[in-house]
Chain A
Amino acid sequence: MQREVGALPLAPALRARLTAAGFQTAQELLEIGPCGLSKEIGISKEEALEALQVVRQECHGDAARTAGGSGATRKFTALELLEEEQAQGFIITFCSALDNILGGGVQLTKITEICGAPGVGKTQLCMQLAVDVQIPECFGGVAGEAVFIDTEGSFMVDRVVDIAAACVQHCQLIAEAQQEEDHLKALETFSLENILSHIYYFRCRDYIELLAQVYLLPEFLSEHSKVRLVVIDGIAFPFRHDFEDLSLRTRLLNGLAQQLIIIANDHKAAVVLTNQMTTRIGQSQSTLVPALGESWGHAATVRLIFHWDNSQRLATLYKSPSQKEATIPYHITSHGFRDVQPPAVTQSAEGTGMNPRKRPRREEEKQ
């Protein structure tokens, strides 16, 4: 309650004047009116009024926090968190092995990082997720929209068309097998044009455009409240050249990570980043490690590493707070990201909405 003047979010010059005039706590400021304040420290009445409004806002924010209400910091019990996590959706990837090791799919409100060598399938997975996030709820999806921020220029619209067409076909097959009303109704809106119109694409050519876009994202997400996925394809590319000052790079990346965490939490969206691999030259050998350094490793909650083993593509879950480390093979087909052996398409498997692990959403679909 007794906030010091130095800790208030006012302009530095104003703060200097207040401390010079002898004000030490916010309480003292609130006792004096704007006219008195303007006379004492020699600023205009409008500026004094503005300053007092800021101080009042801060103090009310403080009061709400100490009273345990919902302020800038949120308080939960673990039980509330458990209920929230269980009700949360996952974005499926159409590769059931990958969904299994992730615990259901790409999780909302978390940052997932995909690292891998060039050509291994990172952008393919991102495009697949941008389509899968739009799957209607009755088919087991989250019915959201996607923001795709591209820094490398590897987004191919034709490929997204192929993936989306395969996804729509899959849902149509389920709807035919089940013959339920809301499935058919959902299919009316789940068409190719709709899917493509709800992928919002930004092409950032350097790190400044990327920073600017991330600053503007909260505003964009409040306007488009159905967005549930933010993909940044190539977070490493703009930061790997033209940086003589590595400490600046680390600072900018940390700031970026913080903002993405806030965006993921506030808007209940999943953030997916793709990273490159770089060689670390060791004593006797060199290994491939994710780029951007060790400190960036803390930014993502879930880390997947894609790599090759002879000619088989493998995905390793490298870092996750709730799932154990595992490696699975996957395929990139003309339909998109898929399992190596297509899972047996049985009636019961389809009945749970394409993902047997996910908590069932409707009573009838419980096995």
Chain B
Amino acid sequence: MAAKKLRRAQLSQELCERLSRCQITTCQDFLCLSLLELMKVTGQSYYEVQKLLCKVSRACAPKMQTAYEMKLRKSVSPSSAFLSTTLHSLDRVLHGGVPCGSLTEITSPPGCGKTQFCIMVSVLATLPVSMGGLDGAVIYVDTESAFSAERLIEIAGNRFPTYFDSDEKLFCMTRSIHLYRELTCCSVLKRIMSLEEEIISKKVKLIIIDSVASVVRKEFDTKLQGNLAERSNFLTRGASMLKYLAEEFSIPVILTNQITTSLSNSPVIQADLVSPADDLSLSE
């Protein structure tokens, strides 16, 4: 929305040309200027510039919906709101399962079973809706090279022996889990940014990133000057893109995090808050 060109914001042609001569071509450039700068650049009076601001704002502002409309829309399709984890007490606590349309973070010390949980949830997502799955593909971004395809087949075969009764069904399931090995922050971010088209073309219904913490902690040493800002920049950019994908396609996104000791006297704390606005956090 921010990159919307001014031409499409219904400004007059000559005004757009005049603005592009000052390198103002998108709504973002326009709205970042102060009123006085806008007057200088457009050559118009104060009141005219205010009207222009309203016009450009209307082009990029979000649509209004009342909370009632949102509730009605949700109640139309209630079953698609969660991905059940098949662990009944966990589902009860989460009011149904891993929610679609928002980010879920799983944290724990090493060896507790985060990757195993992710592998199991990937199997669940490929199951048909009648069995509680999402009947779709899975995108699995692996930064620790911890994903084991053999383990995947073992879980599938043992958990749902009646469904995966033939090799063909197993191969069908493995074909729909797309694994990406990314080893640097840069490549993880690039992968996240490129997910939109893949989600549409491959009919993806679940995104798993295992794990964000390992790649961030490898590259950013927070004791160094400036690294904290860069790290939070990277994290918030990734988080906002993932949130957009989760909301736009109404799919669950699962991230895993690590627990580390802080160097002060306080007890063990959570490392790397991936995004201060994550919706749910499961700590083991």
Segment of A6-14, A96-104, A169-177, A316-324 in the binding face: A6-14
Q: Which residue from chain A places its CB closest to the CB of B29 in the assembled complex?
A: A208
> Known: A203-B62, A216-B61. Contact between A208 and B236, CB under 8 A?
no
20 residue pairs of the A-B complex, CB under 8 angstroms, read A9-B46, A118-B273, A130-B67, A153-B102, A196-B66, A196-B68, A200-B66, A201-B65, A202-B63, A208-B32, A209-B2, A209-B61, A212-B27, A213-B57, A215-B57, A216-B54, A234-B277, A240-B232, A241-B236, A276-B277
> When the two chains form the complex, which single residue of B44, B48, B233, B279 contacts A242, counting CB atoms closer than 8 Å?
B233
Segment of A247-255, A292-300, A336-344 in the binding face: A247-255
Tell me whether B57 and A9 are in contact (CB under 8 A): no
Tell me whether A216 and B68 are in contact (CB under 8 A): no
Contacts of A31 in B (CB 8 A): none
Given A196-B67, A213-B62: 8 more A-B contacts, CB < 8 Å: A153-B247, A154-B279, A197-B66, A199-B68, A204-B62, A215-B57, A216-B54, A234-B277
Interface residues of A (CB under 8 A from B): 9-14, 54, 117-119, 130, 148, 152-154, 157-158, 160-161, 193, 195-209, 211-213, 215-216, 219-220, 234, 237-238, 240-242, 248, 251-252, 255, 276-279, 281, 285
Contacts of B240 in A (CB 8 A): 205-206, 237-238, 241
Q: Which residue from chain B places its CB closest to the CB of A218 in the assembled complex?
A: B54
Tell me whether B60 and A118 are in contact (CB under 8 A): no
**Interface size class, chain B:** 35 or more
Contacts of B39 in A (CB 8 A): 11-12
Contacts of A248 in B (CB 8 A): 32
Q: Mark B35-72, 1 if CB is under 8 A from A, else 0.
A: 00001100111111000011011111111111110110
Q: Mark B55-93, 1 if CB is under 8 A from A, else 0.
A: 011111111111110110010000000000000000000
Measured CA separation A193–B32 after assembly (Å): 39
A-B Cβ contacts below 8 A, count: 143
Tell me whether B71 and A161 are in contact (CB under 8 A): yes
B224 nearest CB across to chain A (Å): 11
Tell me whether B71 and A153 are in contact (CB under 8 A): no
Tell me whether A12 and B70 are in contact (CB under 8 A): no
Measured CA separation A278–B232 after assembly (Å): 10
Q: Which residue from chain B places its CB closest to the CB of A240 in the assembled complex?
A: B236
Contacts of B64 in A (CB 8 A): 200-202, 220
Contacts of B244 in A (CB 8 A): 205
Measured CA separation A178–B102 after assembly (Å): 44
Q: Which residue from chain B places its CB closest to the CB of A224 in the assembled complex?
A: B64
B37 nearest CB across to chain A (Å): 10
> Known: A12-B43, A157-B67, A201-B67. Contact between A208 and B60, CB under 8 A?
yes
Contacts of B108 in A (CB 8 A): none
Contacts of A198 in B (CB 8 A): 66
